[in-house]
Amino acid sequence: SSGDYTPKMRVIRVGTRKSQLARIQTDSVVATLKALYPGLQFEIIAMSTTGDKILDTALSKIGEKSLFTKELEHALERNEVDLVVHSLKDLPTVLPPGFTIGAVCKRESPYDAVVFHPKFVGKTLETLPEKSVVGTSSLRRAAQLQRKFPHLEFKSIRGNLNTRLRKLDELQEFSAIILATAGLQRMGWQNRVGQILHPEECMYAVGQGALGVEVRAKDQDILDLVGVLHDPETLLRCIAERSFLRHLEGGCSVPVAVHTAIKDGQLYLTGGVWSLNGAETMQDTMQTTIHVPVQHEDGPEDDPQLVGITARNIPRQPQLAAENLGISLATLLLNKGAKNILDVARQLNEAH
């Protein structure tokens, strides 16, 4: 059972970014761990990250995948903290050596949400006036929504959630902004959600809505401690999504989006790539069987990591099936010419 873990009453130190959302996400994971391990003590250590310091540059321009994770990883490396809670979508599909994602927590809504300027409350993207300006920091959202809603204009908006909502409300620049539903829910701002974008309108980012717990890959005690947080369905969906992105060579600088579902023992993965203006797109769906075996078939495991995730307490077979599903879909799209769309998007983005 999960409660057996009783190391020498050490304090478990948890690193977090200083932003309010990061703190809330970290607190929720720590609260879950405290309930599972009433005997343990947890200490939360907040630090600033490069990503938080250069909020005026469009994310995709900075070209640094580990923007929000570097300083936290240094602290992990130096044994100053034992685990770090991240939004899974901020974690690169290839982690630096020595680190792993030891838990993928149950996903909240993965969808994007539209928050409207007070004077447009009750509208949808469809019914906003011609040439309305919509703020988003994400090339993925801009590409898909430009294609779907050609009457709108999309402009970059940076800053944490509080900053973006303030810019929306106080400047007369934006009619609406696009944010992750999960972040708004965690902040207690559900009431600002004017519209939820479903996959037909806007597919979500890899790992969106899930939290990942990053730990030292060799720290078996901490791996065992956080492993109980793995949510099997979220884990398998996110392995497939991350595998798809990794094999496309996607990242912050190109529009890649996904949609996953598990139904009747099948894992479905829909993935797409877009040109920056959304004019060109390539999408497809594949599925795989993920029979969860009755007993663990534990072979000797040299490297248990799949797309940066370690889940020894979850059967291996479905994890491998999920990883292969991502590889297969990426390969299918690349064979149909997705590489060209992505290369052009990358070049255009870097030239801006």
Residues with catalytic function:
90
Report the side by side order of strands in the sheet with 281-289. Answer: 256-263, 266-274, 281-289
Give yes or no for a contact between 102 and 222, defined as CB atoms under 8 angstroms apart. yes
Give yes or no for a contact between 282 and 273, defined as CB atoms under 8 angstroms apart. yes
Give yes or no for a contact between 141 and 59, defined as CB atoms under 8 angstroms apart. no
The interaxial angle of helices 338-351 and 316-335, nearest 10 deg, is: 80
Task: Give, in degrees to the nearest 5, the angle at Cα 89 between 86 and 92.
Answer: 90
- Element (DSSP H or E) covering residue 215: strand 211-216
Residue bearing tokens 């800053």:
159
Give yes or no for a contact between 144 and 201, defined as CB atoms under 8 angstroms apart. yes
- Burial grade of 254 (CB within 10 A; 0-12, 13-18, 19 or more): buried
Cα 174 to chain centroid, rounded: 25
Q: Please state, as a whole number, how many other Cβ atoms lie within 10 Å of the Cβ of residue 82.
A: 23
CA distance 254 to 345: 6
CA distance 273 to 339: 9
Q: Token pair for residue 333?
A: 């799209």
Q: Calculate Rg over the CA atoms of the chain.
A: 20
- Strands 211-216, 83-87: pairing is antiparallel
Give yes or no for a contact between 16 and 83, defined as CB atoms under 8 angstroms apart. no
Task: Give, in degrees to the nearest 5, the angle at Cα 76 between 52 and 237.
Answer: 75
